[in-house]
Amino acid sequence: MRRFPAHPFSPVDDPEFDGDKLKEECGIFGVVGVNDAANFVALGLHALQHRGQEAGGIVAHDPQAGFNSARRFGYVRDNFTKAEVMKDLPGPLAIGHVRYSTAGSKGATAIRDVQPFFGEFSMGGAAIAHNGNLTNAAALRRELVERGSIFQSSSDSECIIHLMARSIQKTIAERIKDALRRVEGAFSIVAMTRTKLIGVRDPLGVRPLVLGRLGDNAWALSSETCALDIIGAEFVREIEPGEMVVIEDGKIISTRPFAPAASRFCLFEHVYFSRPDSIIGGQSVYETRRQIGVELAREAPVEADLVCPVPDSGTPAAIGYSFESGIPYGMGIIRNQYMGRTFIEPTEQIRNMGVRLKLNVNRALIKGKRVILVDDSVVRGTTSRKIKDMILDAGAAEVHFRIASPPTAWPCFYGVDTPERAKLLAATMTEDEMRDWIGVNSLKFISLDGLYRAAGEAAGRDPKAPKFCDACFSGDYPVAPSDKIEEGFQMKAAE
């Protein structure tokens, strides 16, 4: 989901720990066939909070009350657990969305940008929630505005509603197909009419979407399987790339509205975005991340006394690295689980404490040891430098970084908040230069082939037909980002 006029990049380094991590922009969830479906959606969105923490929304439909919606800034737990909010969302059908603003602050987002979006059509109302990013949204928006469409938000997702409004098809489902055939990029969508729950994935299947069953006649759609677990739903299967499912009266109709294409699921979902208790492609995310650590230990061994994760995303890979290398695993860094954003007036002195407010070094464990720090990625490198300083201040003899993904050298245009290329450390420095800039004894990234092997591709990456979208590592974009190219973005030259 994107703001206009361009994909927004953070203009400055966020001094806090999470500011140096890539962010998934959205999570989506829908339920049909249960009493008070909105309550189930709220639970599902709570489980997907890691995918979007700035704002959330729910639309529900009741045969008597019609469509009702609620959109709020903040966490799901602070808004959609309140009785006065949920009582206004009755009915057996509901969808929801959690949002991460790429602008980095609530002040940069209007409540009108918060999904799901709703439209009233001649055949009835419909709501839609979108995870992903449309790479031709600027061109579509110009065309639609010239033809009289009036946009209410700055989101690319609203283009879909306007395209639906201009379709001549007779049903909402067919209008959704019409609209999505016009868009480019990445989309997983959960939509609803008065009686139907609808799920769609783009032909490449870049962003995730799964199907779950609740009892005999109730169904759920979710970005991840962990959200099905929280409502007690059985994971049935993934929605296939290029598939559309329409669920009504307990029955599912599946169609393939798009031209066939080889799937290119986002590889970074395996590395960082998805929760470790989710299942992707029939494989545990936790086990994939543990295997990444195993591959990393084989590719980049080093003599050391202790393997420590950078919590929490580096933990499974650190466990795998320790297992394969035989070097003891230890919690050398402790994360303060109750620390949100800085709670003191953010003076320069307090801003400089940002990482320490979230992470603290276990000095008794670290002192005098050669330490391997395992993290999921290096984006701008600012946090890596601060963590290194903390480890050395605690008395470590050596610090070695091992990174559970290849160098992030290219921006993502498919639904991930990525700094512009000039702000990505790997785009401007070699691995040795990054090592010296961060100031560690050694720095090694897993290879792209090693990451593919950990994700289940025993032969590694096939450069002629890669299974995943790995553009942030390789610069190989499966869909040309036409809006960004128009703005001057330079694609990687063909090899």
Per residue in 197-241, pLDDT (tens digit) is: 999 999 999 999 999 999 989 999 999 999 999 999 999 999 999
Query: Encoding tokens for residue 86?
Result: 């949920």
Beta-carbon-side half-sphere exposure of residue 220 (alpha carbons within 13 Å)? 32
276 contacts 285 by C-beta, under 8 angstroms: yes
Place of tokens 């999904």: 115
Residue type, 320: G
Active site residue 26: yes
Q: Pull the structure tokens for residue 220.
A: 């759920």
Question: Which whole-number Å values give the CA distances from 493 to 474, 477, 490, in the listed order?
Answer: 11, 11, 9
Per-residue pLDDT, 5: 32
| pLDDT at res. 128 | 97
pLDDT at 418: 80
Stretches where the chain sits below pLDDT 70 are 1-20, 23-24, 101-108, 338-357, 495
- Residue whose C-alpha is closest to residue 27's, from 68, 65, 61, 75: 75
Residue 356, pLDDT score: 63
Spatial separation of the C-alpha atoms in residues 400 and 196, rounded to whole Å = 53
Do 376 and 405 meet the contact criterion of CB atoms below 8 Å apart?
yes
239 vs 104: CA distance, rounded Å: 31
* Residue 119 tokens, joined: 């439209």
pLDDT digits (tens, 9 = 90+) for 118-156: 999 989 999 999 999 999 999 999 999 999 999 999 888
Which tokens sit at 413? Answer: 């245009």
Out of 26, 159, 226, 469, the active site residue is 26
